Amino acid sequence: MSTAPPASGASGPAPAPGAPERQAPRGPRSAIDWGRVGLGLAAPLLAIVAALVITSLIFLSTGDDPFRAFAVMADYGVKSDSQIVIVNKAVPYFLSALAVAIGFRMNLFNIGVDGQYRIAAFFAAAVGGALALPGIVQIPVIMIVAMMVGAVWAGIAGLLKTTRGVSEVISTIMLNAIAAAVIGYFLQDGRLAVRDGNIIHTEPIPESAHFFEIPTGQAPVNGFLVVAVVVGVLYWFLLNRTRFGFDLRTVGRSESAAHAGGVGVGRMVVTSMLLSGAVAGLVGMPTLLGESYNYGTDFPAGIGFTGIAIALLGRNHPVGMALGALLWGFLERTGGRLEFEGYAQEIVGVMQGVIVLCVVVAYELVRRYGLRTQQRKVGERLAAEARNNGKTEKAEVSA
First to last CA, the chain: 46
DSSP state string for 174-227: HHHHHHHHHHHHHSSBTTTBEEETTEEEPPPPPGGGPPPEE--SSSPEETHHHH
Rule CB under 8 A: say whether 75 interacts with other proteins. Answer: yes
Rule CB under 8 A: say whether 89 interacts with other proteins. Answer: yes
Min. distance of Cβ 295 from other proteins in angstroms? 10
C-alpha torsion sign, points 203, 208, 212, 216: positive
Rule CB under 8 A: say whether 337 interacts with other proteins. Answer: yes
- Residue closer to other proteins, measured from CB, 48 or 182: 182
d(CA 204, CA 183): 16
Interacting residue with other proteins among 301, 319, 357, 365 (CB under 8 A): 301
- Residue closer to other proteins, measured from CB, 35 or 92: 92
Interacting residue with other proteins among 148, 313, 333, 356 (CB under 8 A): 333
d(CA 222, CA 289): 9
Rule CB under 8 A: say whether 216 interacts with other proteins. Answer: no
Interacting residue with other proteins among 23, 208, 340, 382 (CB under 8 A): 340
Q: How many residues bind other proteins (CB under 8 A)?
A: 41
Interacting residue with other proteins among 27, 67, 163, 167 (CB under 8 A): 67
d(CA 121, CA 149): 9
Rule CB under 8 A: say whether 72 interacts with other proteins. Answer: yes
Min. distance of Cβ 273 from other proteins in angstroms? 24
Q: How many residues does the chain have?
A: 399
Rule CB under 8 A: say whether 197 interacts with other proteins. Answer: yes
Interacting residue with other proteins among 22, 195, 368, 394 (CB under 8 A): 195
Interacting residue with other proteins among 135, 220, 264, 300 (CB under 8 A): 300
Helices and strands: H and E segment counts in the chain: 15, 4
- Residue closer to other proteins, measured from CB, 67 or 237: 67
Rule CB under 8 A: say whether 287 interacts with other proteins. Answer: yes
Q: Minimal CA–CA distance to 348: which of 359, 358, 339, 357?
A: 339
Rule CB under 8 A: say whether 65 interacts with other proteins. Answer: no
Q: What is the residue type of 161? A: K
DSSP state string for 118-151: HHHHHHHHHHHHH----HHHHHHHHHHHHHHHHH
- Longest CA–CA separation in the chain, Å: 100
Min. distance of Cβ 326 from other proteins in angstroms? 15
Q: Is 238 exposed, middle or buried (0-12, 13-18, 19+ CB in 10 A)?
A: middle
DSSP state string for 47-90: HHHHHHHHHHHHHHHTT--HHHHHHHHHHHHTSHHHHHHHHHHH
- Residue closer to other proteins, measured from CB, 188 or 375: 188
- Residue closer to other proteins, measured from CB, 144 or 301: 301
Min. distance of Cβ 198 from other proteins in angstroms? 4
Give the side-chain half-sphere CA count within 13 A for 330.
16
Interacting residue with other proteins among 53, 74, 170, 233 (CB under 8 A): 74
Rule CB under 8 A: say whether 302 interacts with other proteins. Answer: yes
Contact 283, 146 (CB under 8 A): no
Among the listed ranges 124-132, 140-148, 336-344, 375-383, the one in contact with other proteins (CB under 8 A) is: 336-344
Q: Degrees (nearest 5) of the Cα angle 232, 233, 239?
A: 90
Min. distance of Cβ 185 from other proteins in angstroms? 8
Residues that bind other proteins (CB under 8 A): 67-68, 71-72, 74-76, 79, 85, 88-89, 180-181, 183-185, 187, 189, 195, 197-200, 287, 291-292, 297-298, 300-303, 332-333, 336-337, 339-341, 345, 349
